[in-house]
Amino acid sequence: SRLRRTTREAHEDYKLLENMNKLTSLKYLEMKDIAINISRNLKDLNQKYAALQPYLEQINLIEEQVAALEQAAYKLDAYSKKLEAKYKKLEKR
């Protein structure tokens, strides 16, 4: 009776472990699929970024040129104000 009960418990434990192993195996397969999808998406994103890279470089170049042009405009504005002041001074004479 005690031996039969122990055998039944061992059988139940074995079944429980078997079910846990099956569930764990399914979880690992799920995680593998997720990892494959992440890897695929990352590869796609890297390709898209590589395709955009020349445009991003052009944008950076344009930004630098705009900044230089802006500085030149400020200098020209300051110079024209000086010229205007000199002209007004000469005009008053």
- Summarised one tens digit per residue, pLDDT across range 32-81 is 999 999 999 999 999 999 999 999 999 999 999 999 999 999 999 999 99
The token pair at 60 is 């950076």
Position 2 pLDDT exceeds 80: no
Position 89 pLDDT exceeds 70: yes
Predicted pLDDT of residue 6:
84
Calpha distance 46→39 (Å, rounded): 10
What residues have CB less than 8 Å from 75, skipping those under 6 apart?
A: none
Q: What is the value of pTM for the model shown?
A: 0.56
Please state the separation of Cα 59 from the chain's center in Å: 19
Calpha distance 86→93 (Å, rounded): 11
Calpha distance 40→33 (Å, rounded): 10
